[in-house]
Amino acid sequence: LSRPSSPDVVVVGAGFAGLYQLHRLRGLGLSARVFEAGSGIGGTWYWNRYPGARCDVESLEYSYSFSPELEQEWEWTERYPAQPEILRYAEHVAERFDLRRDIELDTRVTAAVWDEESARWAVTTEHGETVTARFCIFATGCLSKPKDLEIPGLDSFAGPVYSTARWPHAGVDFTGRRVAVIGTGSSGIQSIPVIASQAAEMTVYQRTANYSMPAHNGPLTAQAQRERKANYAAFRDAARHSPAGLVGKLPTENALDVTEQERRRAFYKAWSAGNLGAMRRSYADIGVDIRANDMAADFIRDRIRDKVTDPATAEALLPSDHPFGTKRPCLDTGYYETFNSPHVHLVDLKKTPIEAITATGVATADGEVEVDDIVLATGFDAMTGALLSIDIRGRDGRTLADAWADGPVTYLGLGVAGFPNLFTITGPGSPSVLSNMLVSIEQHVDWISDCLARLERDGVTTIEPNADAQAGWVEHVAEVGQATLYPLAKSWYLGANVPGKPRVFMPYIGGVGAYREICDDVAAEDYRGFDLEKASASM
């Protein structure tokens, strides 16, 4: 198969963003090469194969909307799809739209350098190949670079160390093993019950107790699927214009304005819904007023107390250091109940931090627990990690790392001043991780594709955010974030999970629908805030 050494576009990443971007580029008649570091497509759903890995957004919402045929023909089996099913879906999409022939697997991009004279990006892969392209689109994901672990001694551990984000394809059998799991975010909370069902002994190392609600997952009935499919267009439209890319009735009342009895009823309803956004959506003030938030948080803490038999363990599992929703809450299947099994132990790292990992186990001030296996569910260098691990150089050789030394700065999360013809799909400064990713991915890909069509039509050679527009957007993103409770948590949204990372609230919390309107207006006003240059004008 011969591939162009100078395609119109290079796309980095073949997860859900890269796949759809390639499909749209084909429709525009642009040539493209897609580089993917993994040995398969699917991004997040290729790498995160840990036991219990599942999407917290319902399958009928966490799926592409761009093709009505695809929408109708694909059958989901569960309300919340498990990783293997989502990966099969991605593979089906790649086959159905004949995408594979432009995707190169096992090919990590190491550098992308802008060449002023030719107005092209030189993109270099780990195999030493360099291709040049007019446009470079980064579809590298928001949670794709696992965080380096700061705990000393990991290398000295004699047994296997597994990372949830790099799980062995053959799976792992924990039967009869003594297992340590470090981390209680979504990946920990999903995998702990499944690993515990096999392990002989399990010790969970918790630094931050999270808020988790029962998923109430189950098979998707044929009828539910039929009904949604009969009405898909309207449903998708509602998602596109919603705050988080998820369909749901928005609250008009404040928790502070109703009686305790009413609140309890609403909280119970939200708790029983098995829906990530339901508790937040129970009242309008949950996300912005700490008093209302405390009420929801107290309600969840009571439910945790109900579930966990041992009072000391229950107490340690209660989230206490951040308001509800300011770190990503979780949906679980039997998480808290797992701690009622006599072979499952919880270590509260707030009281006894890990001092070191030794050859034989995990050591805290309370002594060493001997284990056979260590599972790291310790999260990601979110939103900027994947981009900054590529040597990206824009105008005058300036690196992206330099431009982002004090935290990411973008215009709309779509582009960066000084980096012409570069686009980021779900980049920092866009709703991305605060939304249903599929909705946000499609919106960005469509916006970028429409933009490229316009540039082609009018013979524009370069597009680049201007510095003022970018500064204005950065300020707006920060301002909107400040008006919420989010800054009260040491979360990965703020870069707080990675030592030394600048503390900047990275995603845009203004809402998916409002954000879409802003992006559409920018395009309609001839790409307001972007500088467009034609070849003739620059000569």
Residues making contact with ligand NA7 (CB under 6 A): 143, 149-151, 182-188, 205, 207-208, 328, 349, 354, 377-379, 492, 497
Which is closer to ligand NA7, CB of 179 or CB of 377? 377
Residue 137 in contact with residue 17, Cβ under 8 Å? no
Q: Closer to ligand NA7 at the Cβ: 440 or 497? A: 497
Q: Which is nearer to ligand NA7, 280 or 328 (CB)?
A: 328
CA dihedral (17, 473, 410, 144) positive or negative = negative
Q: Which two tokens stand for residue 301?
A: 């803490």
Three-state secondary-structure class, residue 324: coil
Q: What is the DSSP string of 221-265?
A: PHHHHHHHHHTHHHHHHHHHTSSSS---PPP-S-GGGS-HHHHHH
In angstroms, give the least distance from the CB of 302 to ligand NA7. 22
Measured from the CB of residue 165, what is the shortest distance to ligand NA7 in angstroms? 6
The CB-of-514 to ligand NA7 minimum distance in angstroms stands at 21
Provide, rounded to whole angstroms, the least separation between the CB of residue 180 and ligand NA7.
11
DSSP letter at 449 equals H
- 166 vs 395 by CB, closer to ligand NA7: 166
CB count, 10 Å around CB of 379? 21
Closer by beta carbon to ligand NA7, 236 or else 328: 328
Q: Rounded to the nearest whole angstrom, what is the least distance from the CB of residue 24 to ligand NA7 in the complex? A: 25
Are 21 and 27 in contact by the 8 Å Cβ rule? The answer is no
Q: How far is the CB of 337 from ligand NA7 (least distance, A)?
A: 19
User: Nearest approach, Cβ of 354 to ligand NA7 (angstroms)?
Assistant: 6
Judged by beta carbon, residue 31 or residue 484, the one nearer ligand NA7 is: 484
In the bound state with ligand NA7, the residue whose beta carbon lies nearer, of 107 and 163, is 163
Residue 79 CA to residue 81 CA, distance in Å, equals: 6
Task: Please name the helix (run of DSSP H) or strand (run of DSSP E) that holds residue 517, with its range, or none.
Answer: helix 512-524
DSSP one-letter string for 34-100: EE-SSSSS-THHHH---TT-B-SS-TTTSS--S-HHHHHH----BSS-BHHHHHHHHHHHHHHTT-G
What is the number of the residue whose Cβ is closest to ligand NA7?
Answer: 185
Report the C-alpha gap between 33 and 251 in whole angstroms: 45
